[in-house]
Chain A
Amino acid sequence: MTRKLGPALVAADLAPRRLQVAVRGSAKSSHRRNDLRLVAVEEILFAEMEDPDLVGVFADAEIDRLAAVFGLTAEEVAELYRPVALRPAAASGPLRRRGRLTRAR
């Protein structure tokens, strides 16, 4: 029988005793159930990149290097890789406050 993860465990401090619980909970069925609640890393990576990274995902030097490799003109580089920002700061809403990863004390 596996123990159901609940708010108590989520909120628990990670004392060694509780770590043992986490380790013992490594039965196959437990893994499967937990993994269903996970989000693939690609989603997380994308979230971590944040919007400004959508424009200019590479440094200018890398763009210039790619332009040289593929024979792009300065006009094409400007057109394809350096357009205006997708969401100007003035048009965007206020930044959302991020939640804490650690408990407030």
Chain B
Amino acid sequence: MTALIALNNRSGVYGRGGATLPAVDAWCTTHFGRDALQFCQVLTARFNAGSVVLRAISGNRLLVRARLYQAGVHIATVALRFDPPRRQSHLSWFVVAPVGRRGATTRHLLQNILLIQRDCGIRRITLQAALTHGAYVWAVHGFLPVPNAAWPALAGRLAARFVAVASNFTASQVAAVDGLLQSPDRRALRAVAALALPFGGTTLGRHLLMGEKWDGELDFSDEPSALIYFRRIGLMP
């Protein structure tokens, strides 16, 4: 049994229930500093309404699944896990409905989540970058492959993909890209994603990462990664 909190931020009406609500309240008070309702208010800030399912599980972790509404329309669903003892959270599900396209839905939601992560003392976000654009998008959001040893395998796949298109570039460009792909430093992923050489109607960086999959992390103690993330979600110019 889980706790359920439904909020209408426009009318101020809310409802909550579930046998585990006291446990969730206790978790929020302990780790977030406010109760479960306030937790949900932060999570759904700038959205008209939301329904949030919460469950405190072993290891002082909290599972959260939220559905967000804007103007009566379901606009996004997010599922994530907070693990304050390990100071990390895992973003396991994050989908935005088509109506949220070309809006600020994603940025606002990531900002809301970041506020909770800050108050819970979270220092690291993990996720799996996948699907069509995920490998590229999360790289330009400042995420890096984890563990470090995962980068060479990913670099090998990218190198194989680059070989197929290398004839479109000059020898010096090929040498520079090969150098990045042969680097043992996982930050080379970021350098690859940023490659702005036009290719196939997009950039080489995006082309190489399209359809790839990698486990990623964003460590807030890594200042360059954090700055990239803050800029990308609109917290910094």
A residues near B202, Cβ cutoff 8 Å: 54, 86
Q: Is the CB of A15 within 8 A of B11?
A: yes
Rounded to whole Å, the gap between the CB of A22 and the closest CB of chain B is 6
B residues near A45, Cβ cutoff 8 Å: 106, 133, 137, 141
Taking CB atoms and an 8 Å cut-off, the chain A residues in 45-92 that contact chain B are 45-50, 54-59, 62-63, 65-66, 69-72, 75-76, 79-83, 86
Taking CB atoms and an 8 Å cut-off, the chain B residues in 170-207 that contact chain A are 170, 172-173, 176-177, 179-180, 183, 185, 187-188, 190-191, 193-198, 201-203, 205-206
Q: Is the CB of A26 within 8 A of B97?
A: no
Bound-state CA distance A42–B53 (Å) is 23
Q: Is the CB of B205 within 8 A of A57?
A: yes
Q: Is the CB of A80 within 8 A of B13?
A: no
| B73 at interface, CB cutoff 8 A | yes
Grouping DSSP codes into helix (H, G, I), strand (E, B) and loop, the B interface class, with mixed when no group exceeds half, is: mixed
B residues near A71, Cβ cutoff 8 Å: 179
A residues near B13, Cβ cutoff 8 Å: 16, 19
Interface segment, one of B32-40, B64-72, B151-159, B160-168: B64-72
Bound-state CA distance A102–B46 (Å) is 13
| B59 at interface, CB cutoff 8 A | no
Q: Is the CB of A38 within 8 A of B102?
A: no
Q: How many residues of B contact A (CB 8 A)?
A: 73
Rounded to whole Å, the gap between the CB of B144 and the closest CB of chain A is 12
Rounded to whole Å, the gap between the CB of A105 and the closest CB of chain B is 11
Q: A14-B71, A23-B51 are in contact. Are A40 and B132 (CB under 8 A)?
A: yes
Q: A14-B49, A19-B49, A41-B96 are in contact. Are A79 and B173 (CB under 8 A)?
A: yes
| B103 at interface, CB cutoff 8 A | yes
Q: Is the CB of A58 within 8 A of B101?
A: no
| B77 at interface, CB cutoff 8 A | yes
Rounded to whole Å, the gap between the CB of B130 and the closest CB of chain A is 8
Interface residues on A, range: 35 or more
Closest to B190 in A: A66
Bound-state CA distance A105–B198 (Å) is 44
Contact residues of A with B, CB < 8 Å? 9-16, 18-20, 22-23, 26, 34-35, 37-50, 54-59, 62-63, 65-66, 69-72, 75-76, 79-83, 86, 98, 101-103
Known: A41-B94, A65-B224. 4 other contacts (CB 8 A): A14-B8, A62-B227, A86-B202, A101-B100
**CB-based closest 10 A-B pairs:** A42-B134, A42-B133, A44-B96, A41-B94, A38-B95, A16-B13, A46-B133, A14-B72, A57-B140, A45-B137
A-B contact pairs, 23 of them (CB 8 A): A14-B48, A15-B8, A19-B8, A20-B15, A26-B53, A37-B98, A38-B97, A39-B98, A40-B134, A42-B134, A48-B107, A54-B203, A57-B194, A58-B140, A62-B224, A69-B185, A70-B188, A71-B179, A83-B196, A86-B202, A101-B70, A101-B99, A103-B71
